[in-house]
Chain A
Amino acid sequence: MASVRREIRINCSPDEVWAVVGNPTLIHYWFPGMTNAVVDGNSRVITTATGITLPEVIVTNDSVARRFQYRIDSPIMQEHLGTIDVFDLHDGTSLVAYSTNAVPDPMALIIGGGTGAALVELKRQLELGEGPALAGAQARLGES
């Protein structure tokens, strides 16, 4: 199994970051090349910009540990686990690590490249204080 990890430091509190990362309906707002995400219980189906739909199973959504994990449940993947961890750096900033474990091995690189771009976009929106992912997170907070 191949493993790829990307990480980024974001100048926002872990709670602010987790409000986006921990909401599985928002991923297409911060993952470049994803155009839609539909969540039903612990199932999520994402659509990519090339028209590929990928069913996923949400494995972990732990707001205490701030860990989100999901598995792509598609014949193109023999095994997959995506893990997003949000760490509190105790200085008002956060470290976000996005890991991809996959078989076939090249899929880890293909997906891992996308996760790197996703972290950059996540940071951009959070530090700017605006963007579709934040709007989605705030709407969710308003609902609750």
Chain B
Amino acid sequence: MIEPYVEPAAPGVDRGLTNASELAADKLVVRFQGLAAISDVSLKVQRHEVFGLIGPNGAGKTTLVNCLTGFQRPTEGRIILGGGDTAGWSASRFREQGVARTFQAGRLFKDMTVMENVEVTAAGLGASLRSARKHAKAMLGWIGLADKAALHAGALAYTDQRRLGIARALVLSPAFILLDEPAAGMSDAECEDLMELVASIPRTFTCGVLLIEHNMRVVMGISQRIHVLDGGRTIAEGTPDEIQRHEAVLAAYLGMEA
């Protein structure tokens, strides 16, 4: 059961463009030394939805997320947040303006406590230490890590590390959160718990979710729309039903797993 989230007051914190209703990639191209990782991809993530991004290994999913969060400069095309161009923004600027992300490898601050991991983001967004602690506490309570707040992040169990990564990104309610395979390596039961949590994010935080996930059943279950990449190109976008019946998708992706 996912609990309601009560956000503490946040004086002095600049929420940036947290009223942006849409995060979009427009005709995005990324080339690494001439080799195209992303070719002409356009997509729009809405504030109220879970948007699934799938594709076989090497399809360019993570590169796309890197572009959408300022970690990778597009070779061509634009990233548009709430109608405004984001050219030249740094990764920290993206987070300030309300675009948060998690990492496939977790990338927790391993030598810091669970609490401090979450406090860092609040502090980065301009909160005082006292206010950062309040937000971290509320967020850890919501995500179910309150009793582990004082532990070393590196000492957490694997699934808890994944939750902490999400908590760290979600603190001070961003407008969008991009989750890069949050359930990788989890058992089916663990995965289901986590996906229940992910599915509740748009309602609870008014925060759009872009979800990269390998487990097709999971993605189909919680996404409102799904975008399929293969070899850096868009091969389909639509509702889960449409994607499941899409021929190119079946050939490129589902066919391999079946």
Chain B binds chain A: no
A-to-B contact residues, CB < 8 Å: none
